[in-house]
Amino acid sequence: MIDDFLGHWWALALRGVLALIFGILAVAWPGITLLVLAVVFGAYAFVDGVLAGVAATRATKGRRAPLILLAVAGVIFGILCLIWPGVTVLVVTLLIGIWAIVTGIAEIIAAIRMRHEIRGEWLHVLAGALSVLFGVLVLTWPATGALTIALLIGVYAILAGIALIVLAFRMRRLRTHAAA
């Protein structure tokens, strides 16, 4: 499998650079219209999907499935974000709020059930309560929640981009050593 990726280190590097650029833009201008952020993310997801598709076409048959899944998901989500950017922002924000509430409630229930087996279960309850509070706040003020989410997405994209770039150059180095 590594041989499939060594020859295409540049695709990882390009994905990393795109993620890094997207992340920097999202963090530098969090107040920009969230529709623009959805469009930029849609373009990023689309290009990322296309690049994963390039890697899939060059991978051996038994190793294509995950790359094909990445490619299809990236292209579909990218197109949907480009077609409906306003809906994309609202839906993602609401889903994150709902997810936070559901996981927070699950954490509280788990802490109560484990109260006889663990010490400090109040920390688990606190974590769950904070998650529920975050979810309620996001659902109450989706625009503020979306702005916060935009910043988090930007930070994530920066870190993921750096990781992909480092990985790409390590693969390039491995390819050079393998050829020697």
The answer on pLDDT for 162 being more than 90 is: yes
The answer on pLDDT for 22 being more than 80 is: yes
Domain coverage including residue 50: 2-179
Determine if the pTM surpasses 0.75. Answer: no
Separation CA 149–CA 141 (nearest Å): 12
| Short-list 43, 24, 50, CA closest to 160 | 24
Torsion of CA 100, 106, 107, 111, to 10 degrees: 160
Confidence at 102, pLDDT banded by 50, 70, 90: very high
- The token duo for 43 is 């373009």
CA 99 vs. chain centroid, Å, equals 15
What counts of helices (H) and strands (E) characterise the chain? 7, 0
Count structural domains, the chain. Answer: 1
CB of 23 closer than 8 Å to CB of 172: no
Average pLDDT of the segment spanning 34-60: 85
Separation CA 26–CA 87 (nearest Å): 19
